Structure formats: C-alpha cells, structure tokens
Structure 1
C-alpha cells in the first residue's frame, strides 16, 4: 500500500510540469471574450495541484484504518490526468 501511494504521488508531481503549460494555455479560452465555459475550464484545470495536496493528505491519514477510502482519495487526482490524456491520445489517433 505504501509503495502504491508513493509511486502514484510521484506521478502526480511529475504531471505538474505539463499541467503548468496546459493551465497557461487554458487562459486562451478568454480570447473571444468572457464565457462560463472558459471560467469552468480554467478553474477545473487550476484545481489540480490543490486536489493533489488535499487528496494526498487524506490518503495518508486514512491508510491504516480505512484502506479502501485511502485508495479512493489517492486516485482522485488521476481523474485530472485521465481527462487530459484521453482526449490528447484520441486526437492523435
């Protein structure tokens, strides 16, 4: 369990470099003016580091007594990674 947490959180930290680029590009959604979609997109992408920190803390605190909850908390940031990787792979196919 400890190895799973450490390896997944290393992956999350490694994803911060491309996240910064994607977050910067997300502001281009405002090029055509203000829209709620652009706000939601930029906000959703901007929440990734906060989700990593909060979910990592919750996972480590629950790892002994509530193992299933700890695994679920630890996998929440993977949703952000999947929501970026899946469309990129689909576009490139």
Structure 2
C-alpha cells in the first residue's frame, strides 16, 4: 500500500506591516513522520533545511513575521524570484 503524500504548508516571510506579495523569504513545512521537515528557499532559489519554524514557535516572534500562503502562491513567488535572478545575470 502506497503512503499518501504528506501535507505541506507554506509560509511567506514578511517585514513588519508587509504583505505576502512583498515576501522576503519562503519556508515550507512538510508533515513527515515522525517529525516534520522544514525547508527554506535559499539565495540559489532551491529548498534547504531550516529550523526557522521551530525557533519561531519556541522563542516567539524574534525572527520576524510570516503568513501562511497557498502552494500556488508559493510557486508564483518562486517563479518571480527565479525570473528576477535570471534578469540580474543577463
């Protein structure tokens, strides 16, 4: 029996009083067992392990703000950042 794909949550990292459209970063939580897997988009526009969400929930809002966004919105942010990175390289 094939295991269902784990649920994934996406969070846009925003400045104070910022909006998801102005996100400065992106984190995702994959609800793997026995513990979730957290990843953040790096400067290379690839996913890398992070402890951001653990630190945020343990220590409070010391790392800034984030808002949950849909998978579709997260994909749009990634595509926008990839296009911006490509434009900077040309």
TM-score (norm 2): 0.29
Please identify which structure carries the higher strand content: 2
Please identify which structure carries the higher helix content: 1
TM-score (norm 1): 0.29
Could you say which structure has the larger radius of gyration?
Answer: 1
